[in-house]
Amino acid sequence: MFLPVFIANFATAQSQTYRDSLRRIIQRNVQDSATVNTYYRYAESFPANRSDSAMHYLNQGKALARKINYHKGVAGYASLYIPHLHAKGEYKEALALTEEALAIYQQLKDEANLIKAYNNVGSEQQSLGNFKIAATNYLTALELAEKLKDNQMRRLLFNNLSSVFMSLEELPRSLEYANRGYELARQLNDKFSMASSLINVAAAEAQLGHYNEAFEKYHEVIALGKQLNDMTIILDGLLNLASIDSEKGRNNQALDLFYEARNITDTFQAPEHRMYALMGLSTTLHQMKRYQEADEFLEQTIALGKAINAGYELRITYKVAAENKEALNELGPALAFRKQYEALNDSLMSEDTRKHVMQQEIISQTAIKDKDIIEKKLLITQKEQQLQAKNKWLIIIGLIMTLLTVVAGIFFMKFRYRQKLHLQRLQTLRKEKEVQLLESFIQGEERERTRISKDLHDSVGGMLSAVKMHFSAIRQESAPLRESSAYGHAMGLLDEAVGEVRKTAHNLMPEMLTRYGLADALQIFCKNISHAQTLQISFYSTGNVKRFKPNFELSVYRIVQELVNNIIKHSRATSALVQLSQHGQLLTITVEDNGVGFDQQSGKNGMGLNSLQSRIRALNGSLEIEAATGQGTTAYIEFDTERLEVEITTEKQE
């Protein structure tokens, strides 16, 4: 048993922090080659049991690569996606991907990646039984590997060429390439490569009749597989040991090993190895004249072989199936399997044995036809009488049932459509009412903020300024007051009070928001709130942040203001980040802190957070909170601003 080796990148478990970092980069939706590679790295971070998730992000990365004409990214997708197709036995789909990658690397004249691409095309062709095409691709890749002195690829290609010549029954050449690959693996001190090459060395020696040498090497393969914890290598060793036992007539030992391999593939997804285990079981049971048991495994082997397009293995299985059916005295199926074997054998091995098939066909068909003629004459007489009586009623009943089904279907579809439409209307009305209530609440709150802001600025601020002016006049008239430090301190406190009143008034109704827009207003807000010794707030703005409708800008400002106030009140953080970014029609806001965080798993959200969620949804936005105890909190907000942007016709006021 031998399998070609393709070049692919396999997923490895990564730290949660690393995966979260990659996900944040993806969420920024920047359309460039770096994001394509981030999609691929994120897909690789998924463990083997989450293949569907990995495939989803690989497809996302490829779609972006095509969109931005990142050709190398499109080609790189193939080597990452192949393992997932192999796990499902979808070799034709894998071949199409490898050929696409090969064409791209040829255009780019990327020789290092061309070696891998030619090898991958050869591997898929070999899996589909196209050995001559596979060998041509392997030899082309080997020439490039020799040119670039790439010993790792040379070793792999020697191994793959060995398996091709094994399939073509050119055993001396197969053994030569296998030994060259094994010698290179030893020089590289690579245990996985040593095991891979040793499989083909042992397979060639077994085919040449050197069973003792092959037996020892397969035991060494299994030992290496256990050291590497690689189930594929262990399966290769078990299956080939079982084949040697079967060849030597040690059928019971062979059955035990084939069953062990089959049982492993019940939980470990390896369709080719499972097929080889089923082939071995059926062949060994046939040799033991346990034909009925062999027949069951032959059916499973043929079904799996067709599913994964294993032409070479189907050829062998059809031959055993024909012989097994003959032993069961089922001449019709035996002939059918013999024909299938001959057809595949002609295309794969270029040998013609049709004469033997034709002789069997005559014998089989004669026996079958005599029996069929007698049975059919009896059946024809009976059926003619029954059909004449039943046909009329069947037609009438069929028409009535069809008509009733159509009418019932029409009524049911109309009822479901009306019900669905009614529910949609109710949901729309409910949502519109919620939005109206929320908008009314927000507008009332803003009117109250505006009133308080004006009162603070015009009344309290004015009174404090007047007090300051009078105190200053009194000080000028009194020499002792001019020299009094306590009086000077009191004047300083009065200045601070005036500043605090002014700052509070501006926070309640930020003038900068109206004059300069969201980005500048948030920057000034963060600067005013930030305190070097207690909480340092950094603000960043990326992209071209445009002006929006006043109500929207004010609502977003209040949302950020509330998030920052929550940090001050609850987080005990020393630093925080507010980031505003616009890419196209997507406005994103990130608010992070390094505070105490909270446990999201508890499922307890405060009223403030629920209110914030409702306000953001009313603005056609989304909010995602990431938090963990002792690891800070991150709030990620997105808004679709397609209908919210406004044209600025006047210049900024200085």
| pLDDT tens-digit series, residues 641-652 | 877 777 655 444
CA 632/CA 617 separation, integer angstroms? 24
Least confident span in 7-16, 63-72, 341-350: 7-16
pLDDT exceeds cutoff 70 at 256: yes
* DSSP state string for 93-140: HHHHHHHHHHHHHHHHT-HHHHHHHHHHHHHHHHHTT-HHHHHHHHHH
| Nearest alpha carbon to residue 118 among 168, 161, 165 | 161
| pLDDT tens-digit series, residues 103-149 | 999 999 999 999 999 999 998 888 887 887 888 898 899 999 989 99
| pLDDT tens-digit series, residues 195-219 | 888 888 888 888 888 888 888 888 8
The answer to whether 31 and 66 are in contact (CB under 8 A) is no
Is residue 570 classed exposed, middle or buried when 0-12, 13-18 and 19+ CB atoms within 10 A define those classes? middle
Strand duo 586-593 + 536-543: pairing: unpaired
| Nearest alpha carbon to residue 454 among 513, 512, 522, 508 | 508
pLDDT for 457 equals 55
pLDDT for 117 equals 92
For 545, the token pair is 């942040």
| pLDDT tens-digit series, residues 515-533 | 888 888 888 888 888 876 7
pLDDT for 590 equals 94
Q: Is the dihedral of CA 101, 105, 108, 110 positive or negative?
A: positive
Residue appearing with tokens 């770096």: 34
Assign 467 a pLDDT band (cuts: 50, 70, 90): confident
Phi then psi for residue 541, to 5 deg, are: -130, 125
Q: In the predicted model, what is the mean pLDDT of residues 558-583?
A: 89
First to last CA, the chain: 81
Q: In the predicted model, what is the mean pLDDT of residues 410-419?
A: 85
pLDDT for 360 equals 32
Q: Which segment, 137-151, 543-557, 602-616, is predicted with the most confidence on average?
A: 137-151
pLDDT for 389 equals 74
Q: In the predicted model, what is the mean pLDDT of residues 610-631?
A: 85
Mean pLDDT of the chain: 80
For 170, the token pair is 């050119």
Render the burial of 405-421: b for 16+ CB within 10 Å, e for the rest: eeeeeeeeeeeeeeeee
What share of the chain in percent tops pLDDT 70? 81
When comparing pLDDT for 469 and 197, which is higher?
Answer: 197
pLDDT for 2 equals 45
When comparing pLDDT for 488 and 417, which is higher?
Answer: 417
pLDDT exceeds cutoff 80 at 632: yes
Least confident span in 31-45, 67-81, 160-174, 338-352: 338-352
CA 443/CA 26 separation, integer angstroms? 36
Q: In the predicted model, what is the mean pLDDT of residues 88-93?
A: 82
CA 343/CA 283 separation, integer angstroms? 21
CA 338/CA 343 separation, integer angstroms? 9
pLDDT for 653 equals 42
pLDDT exceeds cutoff 60 at 370: no
